[in-house]
Amino acid sequence: MSETQRMPRAQRREQILAAATEAFARSGFAGTGLDDIAAEAGVTRVILYRHFDSKADLYRAVLARARANLEAAVGAPDYDATIIDALVAGAARDPAGFRLLFTHAAREPQFRAETDVFAAEMTATAGQQLAAHIDDPGWREWAAYLTPTATIAAVTAWLDAGQPDPDTAADRIRDAISGIVAAAAAPTAGRATSTC
């Protein structure tokens, strides 16, 4: 069967989304043309337009797919410390989707609002989880913003470093995030100042 031969619509759509994820992660929204995506998917531009109305429509579908894949990897919203294991596993399965979702899309003005909503959801969830560990509301809010940001940055850096030691990656990232939570939870009265 040739690459452009008829295949079920859902299968063809998935093929296009997977190819578009790789292409967009490599060159960004502006730097990727529909011809690039069609070539990556092994289809014609006409076939692309049978599935997506525009490049922006395709990009939104790619982001939705990446988010759905990540949510499937992470599971239920009542997260615990094992969420980092799930994030690392999800990022390892779909590095291009992970990078696109957390790095590239936030830099694309046309899609920034969508990524801001996702970031706000992660911050709200972190705040709920941290309420049991951090009494001070100001420091809890600080940690709620910082822990998802630091976690995503740590997983991305792990991908960029070639995914070293995957069996302990989540533990190492968790140790770094635990430091943020410990700093936020520490009482402020009588703390020594550092001269680093």
Q: Superfamily for 9-185?
A: Tetracycline Repressor, domain 2 (1.10.357.10)
Q: What is the pTM of this model?
A: 0.84
pLDDT, tens only, 47-95: 999 999 999 999 999 999 999 998 888 876 666 778 899 999 999 999 9
pLDDT in tens, 103-159: 888 888 888 888 888 889 889 989 998 999 999 999 999 999 999 999 999 999 999
Degrees (nearest 5) of the Cα angle 31, 160, 84? 115
Q: What is the mean pLDDT of the chain?
A: 89
Question: Is the pLDDT reported for residue 23 higher than 90?
Answer: yes
Residue 71: per-residue pLDDT? 87
Half-sphere exposure for 2 (CA within 13 Å, toward CB): 4
Q: How far is CA 147 from the centre of its chain?
A: 14
Q: What's residue 78's pLDDT?
A: 62
Query: Is residue 190 predicted with pLDDT exceeding 70?
Result: no
Angstrom CA distances, 172 to 55, 88, 165, 169, 180, stand at 38, 11, 10, 5, 13
Q: Where are the domains of the chain?
A: 9-185
Cβ atoms within 10 Å of 27's Cβ, excluding its own: 13
CA 153 to chain centre: 10
Q: Which residue has the higher pLDDT, 60 or 9?
A: 60
Listed residue (91, 101, 108, 113) closest to 160, CA to CA: 91
* Residue 75: predicted pLDDT: 78
Q: How far apart (Å, rounded) are the C-alpha atoms in residues 102 and 90? A: 13
